[in-house]
Amino acid sequence: MEDKTINIEEAAEIVERVSKRIALLHLSYAKMITEELGEERGKRLILRAIKDYGKTIGRKRREEIEEMGLKPTPENFSKGTSLSIPPFGMHSKIEDKENMKAYGCTLGRLWKEYGEDKLGKLYCYVDATKYMGFNQDYVQTHTKAMTLGDDFCEFVVTPSTKKQKDIFNDDEADLSEVDEYLKE
């Protein structure tokens, strides 16, 4: 492949295409698992996988932050880049004021297009688990979610409760109890 420079719009389009493939992969696995195991058992297994995925992301970010000589606090979370989502192509716009707002989530748009918001939203639990994987004393939860019909996703970081920590640490516990907004 020849060396070539591309502009930010081309890069965003490439990231968006890859993101759509990730969204379809999640959806395909989720559909097959729920068809094979039934909705309840399938959902539990999917959430266990998402929890493992989130823990891996969070732990990697924590390692990176600690290697920088920083403490794993909410203020330092964004100073790391390990396994972070790209700054373009995944959302049309991100605002990071008091609460982070993400507009035009590529994954959420695809799940909506396929009429699979319910299975798609199981992926969204990664936000809580990646944050708790980074530091169990805090959790990032949704106050709005595109997969629930909102125009954008909004996140808040709060101290985690004992219940959230217990769920996070128990592989068999129902992950949907960690982010109440996403719960059915």
Residue, of 146 and 3, whose pLDDT is higher: 146
| Burial of residue 81 (number of CB atoms within 10 Å: 0-12, 13-18, 19+) | exposed
Q: What is the pTM assigned to this prediction?
A: 0.92
- For residue 2, pLDDT beyond 80: no
Task: Enumerate the H helices of the chain as residue ranges.
Answer: 8-37, 39-67, 74-77, 106-113, 117-120, 126-134, 162-169
Q: Residue 124's pLDDT is what? A: 96
Could you tell me if residue 1 is inside a domain? no
pLDDT in tens, 10-25: 999 999 999 999 999 9
**78 or 97, higher pLDDT:** 78
The reply to whether 3 falls in a domain is: no
- Residue 184 pLDDT > 90, yes or no? no
Q: What is the pLDDT of residue 1?
A: 57
CATH number for 48? 3.30.1380
From 11-15, 31-35, 154-158, the region with the lowest mean pLDDT:
11-15
Contact 176, 47 (CB under 8 A): yes
* Domain annotation covers residue 170: yes
**pLDDT tens column, 116-149:** 999 999 999 999 999 999 999 999 999 999 999 9
Q: What is the mean pLDDT of residues 50-79?
A: 96
Would residue 45 count as lying in a domain? yes
Q: What is the pLDDT of residue 118?
A: 94
Q: Is the pLDDT of residue 46 over 80?
A: yes
If one counts the domains in the chain, the total is 1
Distance CA 60, CA 64 (A): 6
* Residue 2 domain-assigned (yes or no): no
47 domain-assigned:
yes
Domain that holds residue 88: 8-182
